[in-house]
Structure 1
Amino acid sequence: MTTAPSRTTPVAMIDRVASLLEVFDGRQQLTLVEISRLAGLPRSSAHRILQRLVELGWVERQGYEYALGIRMFELGAQVVRRDRVHQASLPFMHALHRSTGLTAHLSVLVSSEVLHLERIGDWPQRGRGWRLGARQPAVHAAAGRALLAELAESEQPDLDFPAPATPYGISTPRQLRHELDRIRDRGGIAVDTQGCTAGVTAVAAPIGPSESRIRAAVSLCGPSEAMPLQSAIDAVRAAAMDIWYAASGMSRLRARGRTIPPPLIT
């Protein structure tokens, strides 16, 4: 006779560990009480799991607070290192930051959000949405809209329209369709002026042609009152092409005369 799995089965334990680790998404340090509440676990269970994760190096304990450990970073870094687009983007992102003084991001489309895989630059220091590993609603972020503009409406993920942080943000599907048309008319460049965060302007360009299905974008962000908009647009457009050619193993010089590089397998 078979019985229903109990909460002590391996699958149930994996679910508990996963729910506990996920509470650190967007949060630096948490107490046991906070982790227990956010994960929906009894405090005794959360404490027992945390103790074991600390022993494994997946979580670190600092006084009464816990944070993700170095082992999680090492595992994540192995995933990132396998991504050719990410590796190809690094020298061009550093060059973008040096030449403009603005902060460069490499972002990918994950369902209805953009995930920041890389960040070069320290500004803005406030706002969790701009940090490395953070997510932003795709409809609000310049990178997200640049990537959505490459997709036909039937290909777009189910999008969320959370309340924008400023009056300049997009809040309806109609506004988004109008904005995506503007991006296409601009040759794929998305510009967000204080729509995602007050005082921040961002410009973004998709990496590679739409048929590559890479779904990654490079962007620059800076203070709205001092943003050299046209220079940033030109720099982002050139960097997106440079990254694409580099990830494809083809120099821009050798590729002259071609419409696009050969398809990149990801």
Structure 2
Amino acid sequence: MAHIEEAPAAMIDRVASLLESFVGERPLTLAELARRSHVPRSSAHRILQRLVELGWVERKEFTYTLGVRMFELGSQFTRRRTVPRAAVTVMAGLHRRSGLTVYLSMLVGAEIMHLERIGSWPSASGQWSAGARQPVTLTAPGRALLATLSPDRWPELHFDYAPTQYSIQSRSQLMRDLARVRDRGGVAVDAQGTHHGVTVVAAPITTMDDDGHFALSVCGPTRALDLVATTAEVRNAAATVWRVANGVPTLRPRAVPDLPSSGAELQLADGRPASG
């Protein structure tokens, strides 16, 4: 009986491992998927055949990619959350004004997942692609969100991965960086901490209905990025997404009546000169 109960769970684990192997945008061969998922090649072939029939995976000659059905299921996740819906137009405007690549990311455990991406630099593969994950401590979106949470609400943090000499490598480093984030009004900056030559600026987006922890960020070449201007742009864009997501109207400044010219005399309500 135990074997019968375990068999479906083992099959589900294999299916999940295969689907999670589709990281990046490049089609993968059967051999690559079997190696990434640690599923025997013969079993991987049978599972992929069925996934192709269901529309979850597409096959073209000798390679596989995620299918349209997976896109449909994934899009439901963003459609039923207010922040991703509110962010699309704001992200497009920020990309158009700045020329930088714009991300919407979400806190998932001890990682940041990139939900949306607008822009072409750096190459949309690996850790920079939509759907990719990065450790929360290494990324500007992650640290922007950690700064909004009390430490007792933090996920379990790890500091054993440091891709560059500028990476956060200890809790004490993290705490100092979070102090700087708060000094910037909640904006986090990661200068070459995840990749040499890449700077990311991020601001948190909170919601009133506990819809998740999101952050808006831009990514650009370290040497060309205007940090002061970019910080202001990202902070303002995140605030706009927050207002739209929470249904808060944008306050427009009231019109100020024209003042008399310098040669005209100001008068009080009863007609007397103001200087009298």
TM-score, normalised on structure 2? 0.85
- Would the aligned equivalents of 1:208 and 1:240 in 2 still touch at CA under 8 Å? no
Residue 229 of structure 1 is matched in structure 2 by 227
Q: Report how far residue 213 of structure 1 moved.
A: 6.8
- Would the aligned equivalents of 2:81 and 2:211 in 1 still touch at CA under 8 Å? no
Q: Report how far residue 211 of structure 1 moved.
A: 9.4
Residue 261 of structure 1 is matched in structure 2 by none
Residue 150 of structure 2 is matched in structure 1 by 152
CA distance in 2 between counterparts of 1:213 and 1:152 reads 18
Secondary structure in 2 aligned to 1:225? Answer: coil
- Would the aligned equivalents of 1:23 and 1:35 in 2 still touch at CA under 8 Å? yes
Counterpart mapping for 1:39-188 below 5 A: 39-125=37-123, 128-188=126-186
Residue 35 of structure 1 is matched in structure 2 by 33
- Would the aligned equivalents of 1:151 and 1:210 in 2 still touch at CA under 8 Å? no
Structure 2 unmatched runs, 5+: 255-276
CA distance in 2 between counterparts of 1:203 and 1:78 reads 28
Change (3 A) 1:49 1:160: same
Q: Partner letter of residue 27 of structure 2?
A: Q
Q: Could you report, residue by residue, the CA deviation over 1:112-136 in whole angstroms, capped at 9, with x for unpaired residues? A: 1111111111111165211111111
- Would the aligned equivalents of 1:166 and 1:195 in 2 still touch at CA under 8 Å? yes
CA distance in 1 between counterparts of 2:250 and 2:155 reads 33
Residue 271 of structure 2 is matched in structure 1 by none
- Would the aligned equivalents of 1:145 and 1:190 in 2 still touch at CA under 8 Å? yes
Change (3 A) 1:127 1:161: farther
Q: Report how far residue 199 of structure 1 moved.
A: 0.7
Q: Partner letter of residue 152 of structure 2?
A: S
Q: Percent identity?
A: 53
Residue 260 of structure 2 is matched in structure 1 by none
Structure 1 unmatched runs, 5+: 257-266
- Would the aligned equivalents of 2:186 and 2:203 in 1 still touch at CA under 8 Å? yes
2:22 to 1, 21, 24: 24
Report the more deviating stretch, 26-35 or 106-115.
26-35
- Would the aligned equivalents of 1:50 and 1:59 in 2 still touch at CA under 8 Å? yes
Q: Could you report, residue by residue, the CA deviation over 1:116-166 in whole angstroms, capped at 9, with x for unpaired residues? A: 111111111165211111111111111111001111111110012242222
Report the more deviating stretch, 202-211 or 146-155.
202-211
* Structure 1 vs Structure 2 CA RMSD: 2.3
Aligned residues: 254
Report runs of 4+ in structure 1 exceeding 6 Å deviation: none
CA distance in 1 between counterparts of 2:209 and 2:45 reads 48
Q: Could you report, residue by residue, the CA deviation over 1:31-62 in whole angstroms, capped at 9, with x for unpaired residues? A: 22222233222222111111111111111112
- Would the aligned equivalents of 1:140 and 1:195 in 2 still touch at CA under 8 Å? yes
Residue 12 of structure 1 is matched in structure 2 by 10
Q: Partner letter of residue 219 of structure 2?
A: C
CA distance in 2 between counterparts of 1:77 and 1:52 reads 22
Change (3 A) 1:209 1:42: closer
Residue 263 of structure 1 is matched in structure 2 by none
